[in-house]
Structure 1
Amino acid sequence: MHVSQTVLIVPMQPTPNGRMHIGHGAGTYLRADVLARALRSRGHDVSVISGSDAFEDWVTAAARADGRTAEETVARFHAGIKQDLDALSIGLDAWIDPTSAEHRDGYLAVHEDTVELLRSTGAARAESERIPFSEQTGRAVVGTWIAGDCPHCGKPCGGATCTFCGQFFQPEEVVNPRSRLDDSTLEWRDEENWFAYPADPDAITGHHERAGVRPQFLDTVRRYLDASAGRVNLTGQGTWGIGSRTLPPGKVIANSYYLYSVYCGEVHRRLTGAAANPFAAASGVTTIGVFGSDNSRPGFVSPHVIAQGSGGALKPFDAAVVTGMLHFEGQKCSTSKGHGIWLGELLGSGLVTADELRFHLLHAPLDRGTADVTLDGLVDDVVRLRDWRRNVLLPAADRVRSAGAAVVCTPAVLDAVDAQYTGLGPSGTDLTAAVTALADWMHRGPGAADGDRAWLLGLALLGAPLVPGLAGEIWAQLGFEGAPDLARARAGSPAPCPEPLLTPPAAEPLTAEALLPFVHRA
């Protein structure tokens, strides 16, 4: 992206059935935030809009466990998740609760109108599928409520996707199916629901190949297209969800990441005064989806199926950024299993800052697949970062303040920033490479980077998307206003701020023992 553009980034919406753990933070939301900051530093007009996935069945499971209503559960965790994202310095231009009075009608209308549109174009078709019901309760055992073994890799699975192999499946494909609701025997019934198929399946993989999606993530998409012809559910069994006047009781419109994103586009249109929704085919706005590899079908396939069936009214995401699953000490971070480190608990303790946690998590190579982090690794990274700030950064900042000379952007700074930026775009995202470029600049020292002032300027620009708090302090110390920006850096600064603005690191040494209260292991 070289010419200045308007961009909408929609990270996949978290389910409000619990607070955010480091797996959430390291993957979808950190990537969306870093991408937005990097694009803004290059002059693009970027909005990041998301919200809680309130109509997901995991909400009803959490409500049942806590003795609350689904609405109470949504309200509780919707607010808590936003606090967690704020604590990690994740910037959002809007945070949507689809159950709220502000959004509910518009959110439901986007879903219902789109299903009607696909029916009118002939892209949607009613088909019979086999659905398991609990003989004891008479309730459909789908989504959250079904468990068994994956028909593709044989490992334990639930819902409609496998977190191990990333493949999707229908309820009737689950091996050894059982109900999470009760111990009742399953009764299989034929139910009619609405589905859509891609008019051009090859165009889906072709689009993602051209957009730079890595082969290891596209393999899942190809297997799904080959196995199912790209079939996407438009409606399904349920009572908590997106109801419709056109559906009988017990059925809801499928909870779609893409249609949620289209509603985010409506919010973007209202906030910016734009003439069209960014997902309108001729909007001129670049749309970017960000999601985990276990959501390949809703992220990679469904947007194209719906857009192809819309008769030219809608477009899919222009680019998709996918992230692998984060493991903590060998096991996938999980809200339902209670495994990981929860963002609000750790960052609320004051023992680790948002920048320090971001710096550590960015080293996990999630842009290439599954990655693992450990408590000891977190502590080691934080201790090294604090030692560097104390022994290298602060003395350099003091020398620049004392000298009082103007800051000039040197070729070495520009070369480093340009090299880092190749890993910060929606095509070929590689945040591990980006944070390695920052670390390399940190440790080359001011003497090897045209002096203290240019070295500090490089730190501000290289750190701006990754560790925004620290980068902002350095930027202000150099005499600049606002957020780090490449155009202003090129113009230079008249003089550094004479007052010390950089926050010294915590004096108390950090240990793994101090963080143990914030560690949850399944």
Structure 2
Amino acid sequence: MKRTLVIAPGPTANGDLHLGHLAGPFLAADVCARYARAAGRDVLFGTGVHFTQNYIVTTARRLGVQPEDLRVRSAGQVEETLAAAGIRPDGFVRFGDRYVKTVRHFFERLHSAGKLRLQAVRFPYAPRTGEYLTDAYVRGGCPVCLADGCAGLCENCGHWIASGDLIGPRSTLDPDDPVELREEQVLVLPLEDHREALVEYFARQSATMRPRLAQMIEEILSRPLPDYPVTLPIAWGIPAPFPEVAGQVIYADAETIAWSMHCTALAAEHRGAVLAADDELWFSDAGAEVVYFFGSDAGFAFAVVGAAMLLALGGYVLPGHFVTNEFYELDHDKFSTSRGHVVTGRELAAEVPRDLIRFYLASTSPDFQRTNFTREALEQVTGARLVRPWNRVADKVATWTGRGPLAVSERSRAAAGLMLNRFAAAYDVRRFSLTSVAFTLSEQLARLDRWEVGPDDAGDFCHEVEVFLRCAGPVLIDLAGEAFPDPAIPAAPRAADTAPVTRITPVRLPRLAETGQ
């Protein structure tokens, strides 16, 4: 059986996770991993926190705390919030000596293989402080879409923005400081050297990529690919182990593959594996499939640069799927910790049952476009589409408990097979969609709610309710977990190696509480 490595790249360790984070990659990755595991597949799910972006420095400065303290505190908050939402990774990346060793070793291999080049690169520079300004340290206009933002990955178009290419760069550390452009020798990965292999790779990926990632890939491949910096002339980050760039650090956004390898190694070890190295699961002959879940603005770093690095080293599997998402808004405005416009997962989970949170976030998931969260809509949607219909269905099942085994017809077995297929289509990683999962869940629950149950079809009804709840289990984790300690999803009744269900003994099913209860 091919092992699946599900990865939700870690957020920057400069704060807690808000609902925008959860509704994007983290809930989707958790649901995907839960379904695949319940369906009998070998799955490792990893996430964590990214500790080396200089956004940690700028946030710490704004908050009046030390960057090291902020990143440790943020990691703990992220873990707590994931747990509050029922998101259960096998591995969680924290900053430590092992991580640093993994990153340095990865780039030492690229360096010794001759895949990195020393090159003069322009950076914004603040003469007053003598500092180069990269990523969070500098803002300006995106040279592709004109949106204002920091250097690095453009949140608007998804392209990578070299610091020296920003339009009208200005310092975020001190907006009144004059800024000029200066050249500095850094190590770069020439992406153009891997154009042919990247074109071939993304041609294979095009059928399953979501629109904004596909558009970004198409746009960047239509022009010369950039020389991507691997080291930067700043102080925050992992020190680069190369004498020709002494005093520089490894570019945080270039750590994507090393971070991912460390993440999956931690996940495997949590499940009892003993690995010789963090990259062991990524060797081509290991037979694993890598599936990424991330926001569309991270596509360049993980999809393009990540694939180029794996191609440069050779012998590694390339990611099989990229499941991206757009922004999730709060009251039709972007989540913003700095403006206090935010709701964290822990805050909401303290007031609302987490199955309802998971269902609503799935229903409004920003799979293909920006979507919105409001507390009023959560109460309305979960009450009308989940809580009240489910409780009516549970009450119907309760009237048939204690009466012994009930007959299940061929018609019901066929209907259950169709229901399984509809859920499987939404969960399948090639077309994975949380909104499709939530839609299928709502439609099937509404069908069961409309069922007028009598003595002749009570067994059919109870059978289809059980199949429904097992299929909904990756989203409704507490409801399904209370009803069925065994999380396995039944195989389609028509499968050749599956004994047909002919009788069922109904069990009393748990009820759901509404948000205000």
TM tier, shorter chain?
0.7 to 0.9
Deviates more, 1:21-30 or 1:253-262: 253-262
Which of 64, 67, 74 pairs up with 2:71? 74
Three-state SS of the structure 2 residue aligned to 1:184 is: coil
Shift, 1:455, TM fit = 2.8
Write the letter of the residue equivalent to 2:258.
L
Mapped to 1, the partners of 2:77 and 2:35 lie a distance apart of 27
Q: 1:464 corresponds to which residue?
A: 473
1:355 and 2:349 are equivalent in the alignment = no
Write the letter of the residue equivalent to 1:486.
P
Shift, 1:280, TM fit = 1.6
Mapped to 2, the partners of 1:493 and 1:64 lie a distance apart of 66
1:326 and 2:343 are equivalent in the alignment = no
1:185 and 2:178 are equivalent in the alignment = yes
Scaled by the length of structure 1, the TM-score of the pair is 0.87
Is the CA contact (8 Å cut-off) linking 2:325 and 2:366 kept in structure 1?
yes
Mapped to 2, the partners of 1:21 and 1:407 lie a distance apart of 47
Which of 11, 21, 25 pairs up with 2:22? 25
Which of 221, 224, 229 pairs up with 2:220? 224
Q: 2:462 corresponds to which residue?
A: 453
- Summarize deviations over 1:230-289 as a string: whole Å, max 9, x none: 543322232121113325454111222222001223324544236772212221111111
Write the letter of the residue equivalent to 2:162.
Q
Mapped to 1, the partners of 2:188 and 2:340 lie a distance apart of 35
Write the letter of the residue equivalent to 2:178.
T
Write the mapping of 1:274-293 to structure 2, written as runs, cut at 5 A.
277-293=280-296
Which of 51, 54, 57 pairs up with 1:57? 54
Mapped to 2, the partners of 1:306 and 1:186 lie a distance apart of 32
Mapped to 2, the partners of 1:397 and 1:230 lie a distance apart of 61
Q: 1:316 corresponds to which residue?
A: 318
Gaps of 5+ in 1: 99-103, 510-522
- Alpha carbons of 1:369 and 1:127: their partners in 2 closer, same or farther (altered >3 Å)? farther
Is the CA contact (8 Å cut-off) linking 1:243 and 1:252 kept in structure 2?
yes
Mapped to 1, the partners of 2:338 and 2:262 lie a distance apart of 28
Write the mapping of 1:471-486 to structure 2, written as runs, cut at 5 A.
471-474=480-483, 476=484, 481-486=485-490
Q: 1:343 corresponds to which residue?
A: 345
Write the letter of the residue equivalent to 1:502.
P
Is the CA contact (8 Å cut-off) linking 1:242 and 1:252 kept in structure 2?
yes
Shift, 1:80, TM fit = 0.8
Three-state SS of the structure 2 residue aligned to 1:357 is: helix
- Alpha carbons of 1:249 and 1:184: their partners in 2 closer, same or farther (altered >3 Å)? farther
Q: 2:163 corresponds to which residue?
A: 171
Three-state SS of the structure 2 residue aligned to 1:340 is: coil
- Alpha carbons of 1:228 and 1:133: their partners in 2 closer, same or farther (altered >3 Å)? same
- Alpha carbons of 1:381 and 1:493: their partners in 2 closer, same or farther (altered >3 Å)? farther
Shift, 1:87, TM fit = 0.8
Number of aligned residues: 490
Write the letter of the residue equivalent to 2:470.
L
Which of 199, 202, 208 pairs up with 2:199? 202
Shift, 1:180, TM fit = 0.7
Mapped to 2, the partners of 1:209 and 1:507 lie a distance apart of 41
Q: 1:263 corresponds to which residue?
A: 262
Three-state SS of the structure 1 residue aligned to 2:284 is: coil
Shift, 1:483, TM fit = 1.2
Q: 1:444 corresponds to which residue?
A: 447
- Summarize deviations over 1:485-513 as a string: whole Å, max 9, x none: 22499666986576x5514414846xxxx
- Alpha carbons of 1:407 and 1:346: their partners in 2 closer, same or farther (altered >3 Å)? farther
Shift, 1:443, TM fit = 0.4
Shift, 1:228, TM fit = 4.5
Mapped to 1, the partners of 2:118 and 2:452 lie a distance apart of 67
Query: How much identity, in percent, do the aligned residues show?
Result: 23
Deviates more, 1:117-126 or 1:245-254: 245-254
Shift, 1:57, TM fit = 1.2
Write the letter of the residue equivalent to 1:321.
V
Is the CA contact (8 Å cut-off) linking 2:45 and 2:90 kept in structure 1?
yes
Gaps of 5+ in 2: none
Mapped to 2, the partners of 1:193 and 1:181 lie a distance apart of 22
Mapped to 1, the partners of 2:394 and 2:370 lie a distance apart of 36
Three-state SS of the structure 2 residue aligned to 1:14 is: coil
Is the CA contact (8 Å cut-off) linking 1:460 and 1:484 kept in structure 2?
no
Scaled by the length of structure 2, the TM-score of the pair is 0.88
Write the letter of the residue equivalent to 1:258.
I
Q: Which runs of 4+ in 1 moved over 6 A?
A: none
Q: 2:274 corresponds to which residue?
A: 273
Shift, 1:22, TM fit = 0.9
Shift, 1:133, TM fit = 2.0
Write the letter of the residue equivalent to 2:236.
W
